[in-house]
Structure 1
Amino acid sequence: MRLYHFLNAEYGLLNIRHRRLKIARISELNDPFEFLGVATKSASMRRRYQWLKDGLNDYMGVVCFSASWNNPVQWGHYADRHRGLCLGFDVTAETHKVTYAAERLLARPSTMKSEGPAAEAHVTEILTTKFEHWSYEDEYRLFPQLQDQDPSGHYFLEFDDNVALREVIVGDRSAISRDDIAQSLGPLARKVTTYKARLAFRSFDVVRQKNDRLWS
């Protein structure tokens, strides 16, 4: 499956150069409802789900992808207002499609009392449900375990056969040059398609710039 990841220019080029993506920590995601999407008035139940979130945060992280790269809102929010870039990957690792909902999930305390398919299904539901206003992201998630912490304190997902870089799309307002991309890709360049984006002329889409002379 081809999936896309948006970045600003600095980190985009660094990630290409180092062949990796930063793994986001669950506790640091920009939506405070993340992994706490259960509706309950019970304080003890809310604590229980917070403990679940805290435990997941210690065990694993999340790498977020989108099913497409054409949405200008994503370029605006995650690619430094169209000055960054978007990386396209062929992803064969297990991913989970996000479900967008108008209402919060029902608490299912009975399923959390023991391990098993019901508990796993409820945890997956919590991991992959977001408020419907986030639906423009068309998101897929990968949940890698936290291993081999980098000296910077971060965790990274290495490019490999399961997450293989195939496209580099440079934003419409980006100053990233062809040489910048080529130097970052190095020997990987023969396997990766690179091109500049532009704004569509007749729709609210971001599309490929087919005039190569407009990208130096």
Structure 2
Amino acid sequence: MRLYHFLNAEYGLLNIRHRRIKVGRINELNDPFEFLGAATKSASLRRRYQRLKDGLNDYMGLVCFSANWNNPVQWGHYADRHRGICLGFEVSAQAHKVTYVSERLLARPSAMKSEGPKAQAHVTEILTTKFEHWSYEDEYRLFPQLQDQDPSGHYFIEFDDQVALREVIVGHRSTISRDDVAQALGSLQPQVTNYKARLAFRSFNVVRQRNDRLWE
């Protein structure tokens, strides 16, 4: 499955050079409803869901991808206002598709008290459900366990055959040059297609710049 990850120019090139992607932490995401999507009537149940979220935060993170790179809103929000970069990966690891809803999920107190299939299904539901206004992201998620913390305090997953870099798309406002990308790719160049993006002429989409002379 081809999936896309948006970054600013600095971190996009760093990720390519170091062959890795940063793992996001659950308690640091930009949507405060993340992992708290169930509607709850009691304070005790809310505390139970918060403890679940905190527990998940201690041992796992997430890496977020989109099913497409053409949405200008994503470039605006996650790629430094079209000055950044988008990395396309062939992902064979288990990627979970996010479901977008208009109403909060039904709380399942009984599932919260068990550790069987029903509990696991409810946790997966919580991990992969967001408010419908986020649907422009067309998101898929990986949930790697936290291990081998970097000296910076962050966690990363390495490029490998499960998450293989296949495209580098440079934003239409970006000053990243062909040579910048080539140097960052190094030995990966034969496996990776790279190109500049532009705004579509007849729709609100971002598309490939076919005139190679316009990217130096």
TM tier relative to shorter chain: over 0.9
Q: How far is the alpha carbon of 1:116 from its aligned partner?
A: 1.1
| Deviation of the 1:113 alpha carbon | 1.5
Taking the aligned partners of 1:79 and 1:46, their CA distance within structure 2 comes to 34
Is 1:14–2:14 an aligned residue pair? yes
- Please give the alpha-carbon distance, in whole angstroms, between the structure 2 residues aligned to 1:20 and 1:116: 34
1:63-82 correspondence to structure 2 within 5 Å? 63-82=63-82
Q: TM-score, normalised by structure 1?
A: 1.00
Matches within 5 A, 1:100-115: 100-115=100-115
Q: Please report how far the alpha carbon of residue 60 of structure 1 lies from its aligned counterpart in structure 2 after TM superposition.
A: 0.2
CA distance in 2, matches of 1:198, 1:27: 35
Is residue 2:95 matched to residue 1:95? Answer: yes
C-alpha offsets along residues 152-203 of structure 1, whole Å, 9 cap, x if unaligned? 0000010000000000000000000000000000000110000000000000
Unaligned runs of 5+ residues in structure 2 are: none
Which residue is equivalent to 2:189?
189
Code of the residue aligned with 2:181 in structure 1: it is I
- The 5 A counterparts of 1:1-216 are 1-216=1-216
Secondary structure of the residue aligned to 2:62 is strand
Q: Which amino acid aligns with 2:210?
A: K
Offset of residue 111 of structure 1: 1.0
Segments of structure 1 that go 5 or more residues without pairing to the other structure are: none
RMSD between superposed Cα atoms in Å: 0.4
Q: Which amino acid aligns with 2:127?
A: L
Amino acid at match of 1:46: R
Q: 1:214 & 1:7 partners in 2: Cα distance? A: 22
Q: Which amino acid aligns with 1:51?
A: R
Task: Report runs of 4+ in structure 1 exceeding 6 Å deviation.
Answer: none
Amino acid of the structure 2 residue aligned with 1:89: F
- State the Cα distance separating 1:24 from its structure 2 match: 0.3
Please give the alpha-carbon distance, in whole angstroms, between the structure 2 residues aligned to 1:51 and 1:103.
Answer: 22
Counterpart-to-counterpart distance in 2, 1:111 and 1:39: 14
Tell me by how many angstroms 1:52 deviates. Answer: 0.1
- 1:148 maps to amino acid: D
1:41 CA drift (Å): 1.9
The percent of aligned pairs where both chains have the same amino acid is 85
CA distance in 1: counterparts of 2:41 and 2:175, whole angstroms: 50
Secondary structure class of the residue paired with 2:4: strand
Q: Residue 165 of structure 2 aligns to which amino acid in structure 1?
A: L
- The CA distance in 2 between the partners of 1:113 and 1:7, in whole Å, is 39
What amino acid sits opposite 2:31 in the alignment? D
Equivalent position SS for 2:152: coil
